[in-house]
Amino acid sequence: MTISAQQLLQSHFGFSHFRDGQQQVVDTIMNGESAAAIFPTGSGKSLCYQLPALVLPHLTLVISPLLALMQDQLEFLASKGISAASIDSMQTKEQSQQVLAGVKAGHIQILMISVERLNNERFRQFLAQVPISLLVVDEAHCISEWGHNFRPDYLKLPKYKAQFNIRQTLLLTATATEKVVVDMGEKFAIGQNNIVLTGFYRPNLNLHVQGLAQADKDLFLAQWLNDKTQLSGIVYVTLQQTTEQVARSLSAQGISASAYHAGMDSEQRQSIQKNFMNGNIRLIVATIAFGMGIDKNDIRFVVHYDLPKSIENYAQEIGRAGRDGNSSECLVLANYDNLNILENFVYADTPEENAISYVINEIIEQAKLNNFQWEVVLNSLSSQSNIRLLSLKTLLVYLELAGLIKPAYSYFAEYKFKLKCSENELINKFDGERQTFIKAILESSDKAKIWYTLNFDRMAVQYPSERSRVITAIEYFDEKGLIELQSKQMTEVYQVNSNPMDLTLLNTDMYSRFEQKERSEIKRIEHLLAFFASSACLSQQLAHYFSDPRLQQPCGHCSVCLGNVTTMPATPALKPLDEFKFEQYTNEINKKLGKQTSITLISRFLCGLTTPIFTKLRVRKLTGFAIFEHYRFNDVRLWVEKNISTN
């Protein structure tokens, strides 16, 4: 007899009924179709793949953006007796091999990985040997350029779905506007009927915004928290050092608080998180590194000490409160003091036009020499072109969409191994043709004192074999403890369009796309500011932003509805730029940059915006670095331009 979804829900998860939207998604997946679930944070998106994974014939592969998300899910699944595992960078080689063996044997039903794991040639070769029933993409808005957290590697997921012959996909997100939902669905060919939106509005969350000068925040926050010391809550800040400062300030005022940020060591972070989850720590002051994957039902308040990065981030972060359905408070302490810093981060990501030109020329020149193929190590190209790594990945996606390049494959440029037995012992473990093949691997490798480095060119001459066969062999040796294997320097290989293209026009188009993205991100910040300073119902505005039609009237319980429309305090006046001496702050950086100097680079230096060339030249200690970090980048740029033209 076929067991029903309702029976599985009861027997494995102990729930008597599905939450809103869950059954529709689960039924769609169990009927052999793909689906998308756009549910608010904390409303049970994960169950939509966890339950079907119990009955699907093969592996459920989950793409999850953060290690914390994976660990939380794995602990939950283990508590329900469901076999799940992850492959991540924190594991030892032995732990990873144990997981892969479990997947291969069919003992593991759910495997969780980061999207970057799919760049690993060895891992992709492993997946190609494993039947996969369902691809789950968590935080699926990352696949859309119009999403708030676009990640270029996500754009490759439809290609991997085809490559690994995965029939079904499930997309999960809490924060997707209508435009993003359409984009997600189109990329994975998910029909409109299989996209389930449950609405964004949660009536148990009381949204409040309080306009405050920066100097008044600590006292106000301590007073606001005074009657909440027995409740669990999170205070979000932007910078790591602010977590420590605010936690100290609250503790000095008699309110126990623990700081949490990505700069702490892993054990310390895990200890704080564990104590927060079990109630030993009530209040966490954290950067947004805290909270992803946290499924604590009784968080009674979330405070934004600093402005969040976007409305989407705000929605995601307040969504961690009140998951038990009980009333919870969400407070923002708002001012415009750090607005310029927030905007300047956006300007730091836009490559200069000549940097884009450098990349395009590199592609064309190498393609001429290599039969229209281009090989690239991204970290090296980022340094050479002076384009930030994420922006470089985005540029390559844009060039792919424009038809210049097409991803072919990626590989590790170097495979090194050392023997754990003698050469003869290794060779004699095999017989016939395999013995000859293994002997050829050893003889063609470059040998140092201990380490061997695979030489694929020499191997191709000595014993012509598929590259994949060589890699499979040495991975097998590694798995069996016969060698210790290391691989490094990921190389991406692209096929380059052999038809002539107008490269000047292409360069202009690429730069325009980045400028458009820049304008879009600045607009996102403007939306955020307008939202917090608005005289309209906050809950209704949020619902409208996320295409939730259910809230047609003011909520009646946000700060605006309660008569407290935010008045933003005046921003502290900055000293006029014309009162600064240009040469005093730019002479050192000009000398360091030499011929590479430009108006944009000097402006970024003065605003404290890092680029690969700044990292290489170690400019942080130079006079002038970050002297104008509180000024608007565009104003600084105009000032630099004016001074250069008059000198």
CATH number of the domain to which 10 belongs? 3.40.50.300
153 shares a domain with 215: no
pLDDT at 582: 94
Q: Is residue 510 part of a domain?
A: no
Does 414 fall in a domain? Answer: yes
Q: Stretch 157-182: mean pLDDT, rounded?
A: 90
In this structure, is residue 559 part of a structural domain? no
Q: Work out the average pLDDT over 391-415.
A: 86
- Residue 344 in domain: no
Looking at residue 193, its pLDDT comes to 93
Tens digits of per-residue pLDDT, 153-162?
Answer: 888 899 899 9
292 and 370 belong to one structural domain: no
Q: Which H or E element spans position 631?
A: none
- Segments forming the whole domain that contains residue 305: 205-337+520-545
Whether residue 164 lies inside any domain: the answer is yes
Among 291-300, 411-420, 589-598, the minimum mean pLDDT is found in 291-300
Separation between Cα atoms, residue 250 and residue 286, nearest integer Å:
13
Residues 484 and 536 in one domain: no
Q: Measured between alpha carbons, how far is 541 from 534 in angstroms, rounded to an integer? A: 9
Question: What's residue 235's pLDDT?
Answer: 96
Query: Do residue 183 and residue 223 come from a single domain?
Result: no
Which pLDDT score, from 0 to 100, does residue 146 have? 67
Alpha helices in 306-452 (DSSP H): 311-318, 339-348, 353-369, 378-385, 389-401, 423-428, 432-444
| CB crowding 465-491: b at 16 or more within 10 Å, else e | eeeeebbebbbebbeeebbebebeebb
Distance CA 320, CA 43 (A): 10
Domain end among 166, 197, 228: 197
Residues 492 and 540 in one domain: no
The pLDDT-based confidence of 148 (bands split at 50, 70, 90) is: low
Provide the pLDDT confidence category of residue 291 given band limits of 50, 70 and 90.
low
Nearest to 291 by CA among 513, 517, 69, 14: 69
Residue 386 clears pLDDT 70, i.e. is over it: yes
pLDDT by residue (tens digit) across 573-582?
899 999 999 9
Q: What are phi and psi of 413, to 5 degrees?
A: -70, -25
Same domain (yes/no): 357, 315 = no
44 inside domain: yes
Based on the fold, state whether residues 237 and 105 are members of the same structural domain.
Answer: no
Instruction: Please state, in angstroms and rounded to a whole number, the distance separating the CA atoms of residues 127 and 122.
Output: 9
Q: Report which listed range, 80-94, 158-172, 266-280, is most confident.
A: 158-172
| Same domain (yes/no): 531, 620 | no
The verdict on residue 308 lying in a domain is yes
Average pLDDT (402-415) is 84
Q: Comparing 87-101, 234-248, 528-542, 588-602, which segment has the lowest mean pLDDT?
A: 87-101
- Is the pTM above the cut of 0.85? no
Provide the pLDDT confidence category of residue 446 given band limits of 50, 70 and 90: very high
As a whole number of angstroms, the distance between CA 307 and CA 482 comes to: 54
Among 62-66, 312-316, 429-433, 576-580, which range has the highest average pLDDT?
Answer: 576-580
Q: How far apart are CA 590 and CA 586, in angstroms?
A: 6
Residue type, 615: T
Does 372 score more than 60 pLDDT?
Answer: yes
Cα-Cα-Cα-Cα torsion 175, 177, 183, 185, nearest 10 degrees, comes to 60
445-461 mean pLDDT: 91
- Among 169, 197, 225, the domain-final residue is 197
H helices then E strands: how many in the chain? Answer: 26, 18
Residue 564 lies in a domain: no
CB atoms near residue 338 (< 10 Å): 17
Query: CA 265 → CA 261, 270, 271, distances in Å?
Result: 9, 9, 10
Instruction: Out of 204-213, 301-310, 335-344, 445-454, pick the least confident.
Output: 335-344
- Residues 286, 395 share a domain: no
Residues in the chain: 647
Where residue 406 falls among pLDDT bands split at 50, 70, 90?
A: confident
Domain count along the chain? 4
Statement to judge: residues 210 and 193 lie in one domain: no
Q: Answer whether residue 295 shows pLDDT above 80.
A: no
Final residue in a domain of this structure, among 197, 221, 244: 197
3-state secondary structure 16-41: CCCCCCHHHHHHHHHCCCCEEEECCC
Q: For the segment 65-122, what is each residue's pLDDT rounded down to a tens digit?
A: 776 667 778 888 888 888 999 998 667 777 888 999 999 999 999 999 988 888 777 7
pLDDT for res 90: 67
Q: Average pLDDT, whole number, for the chain? A: 90
What was the pLDDT predicted at 1?
Answer: 34
In a shared domain, residues 97 and 212: no
**Shared-domain flag, residues 11 and 150:** yes
